[in-house]
Structure 1
Amino acid sequence: MFQKMGPQGWWPADSKEEIILGAILVQNTNWQNAAISLENLKMVTDFSSFQIANLSVAQLQALIRPSGFFKNKSQAIHEIFTWLLAFDVDFFKVRNYYGENLRDQLLTLHGIGPETADVLLLYVFDLPVFVADSYARRLFTQLGTPQLHNYQALKKLVNLSDFTLAEAQEFHGLIDEFGKEFLKKNTFNRSFLRDYKINLRQE
């Protein structure tokens, strides 16, 4: 995929705060809608964690309304940025404090599910994890893996222990860009991966 598509440079953002917001806002909508909400937030807060956390509920909901589910997403945004302020928005401090329990901690925050938690681990806390999102599940199914019933089923199947952080980020970006081009349009059989299959090793 890298040879055919080149570097993707994911996640497209200028700051970790913007990544957090994007990961929440894009839930259950498309990126175009999330981008409108992001632009609204940027104009008012310049993506300052302090300013975001101190927006009133009404202000925050109005700013992110274009991305839908604005009540739930506003609560998620407020909760995670309030949590980060307790650590002075020092992402290394957060990672060191929770260690191997960081993912579990993220999952306790409102509106943070397995996929969003892994996106935050990968792009905000700089840990090389696999994001088993819908494009990844569709791709691995096309490549001949067993039926993948849910997010965790694929996550257990893929081990990125030999990947660097940059490689793990690139892998996620490549899968999603491939998905937009060939899986969303149901044209996998015309893609450069059409003749590839995954051979699972039996342990």
Structure 2
Amino acid sequence: MTELKRLTELNPQKIINLTQDELMQIIKSSGFYKNKSRAILATFEWLDKEGWDYDQISERYGSKLRTELLKIPGIGNETADVFQVYIFDRPVFIADSYTRRLFAKLGYQKTKNYTELWKQVTLPDNFTYQDAQEFHGLIDNFGKEYLRYDGLFEKSFLAGMK
């Protein structure tokens, strides 16, 4: 991301004007660069076609926004939900791997994949996109510290809670 920022200033037009090969070279150190480059370009092309107005895009698609995002090549459930929370300011539950691990440690039924946990969680009506961003961020930070390796969770302040 640092190299992409340095070379394009994260300017959408500069990124869209890159070829996939150029973008792959720029993001090569991030791993899975072929798939990521395809997804980045497809996302930027979709946003360009939609006019880059996130509020208008959100309004246009309403409850179908997630479905539309999933049509973009390379965008899966987790990325679509991250986009909804952080780009389109929507209160959506992100059931990423740290969240699934944390919920399992706290006694929820262990889930095999993203969708399985995502379908189990119903957010309260007053849950805002700011809450979603904070909730995801807190779980992500907790996960990096206590869920990366076996035995770390037991040293956390949540150990023993079920």
Decide: shared fold, TM above 0.5: yes
| Counterpart selection for 2:133 from 142, 148, 169 | 169
- Give 1:195 deviation, angstroms: 2.6
Cα distance in 2 for partners of 1:107, 1:87 equals 15
| Counterpart selection for 1:88 from 44, 51, 75 | 51
| Counterpart selection for 1:71 from 34, 38, 50 | 34
Matched to 2:154, the amino acid is N
The equivalent of 2:158 in structure 1 is: 193
Contact 2:66 2:84 in 1 (8 A): yes
1:86 partner SS: helix
- Give 1:90 deviation, angstroms: 0.9
| Counterpart selection for 1:160 from 106, 119, 123 | 123
Does residue 1:97 correspond to 2:60, yes or no? yes
Cα distance in 1 for partners of 2:104, 2:20 equals 41
The equivalent of 2:81 in structure 1 is: 118
Cα distance in 1 for partners of 2:9, 2:35 equals 22
Cα distance in 2 for partners of 1:182, 1:68 equals 24
Contact 1:49 1:89 in 2 (8 A): no
Structure 2: tracts of 5 or more residues without a match: none
The equivalent of 1:183 in structure 2 is: 147
Higher mean displacement: 146-155 or 110-119: 146-155
The equivalent of 2:17 in structure 1 is: 54
Higher mean displacement: 148-157 or 166-175: 148-157
Contact 2:100 2:110 in 1 (8 A): no
TM-score after normalising by structure 1: 0.75
Matched to 2:161, the amino acid is Y
The equivalent of 1:148 in structure 2 is: 111
Figure out how many residues of one structure are paired with residues of the other and give that number: 160
Structure 1 stretches of at least 4 aligned residues deviating more than 6 Å after TM superposition: none
- Give 1:69 deviation, angstroms: 1.9
Deviation sequence 1:66-88 (CA, Å, 0-9, x none)? 11222221111111101111122
Contact 1:139 1:183 in 2 (8 A): yes
Cα distance in 1 for partners of 2:155, 2:20 equals 47
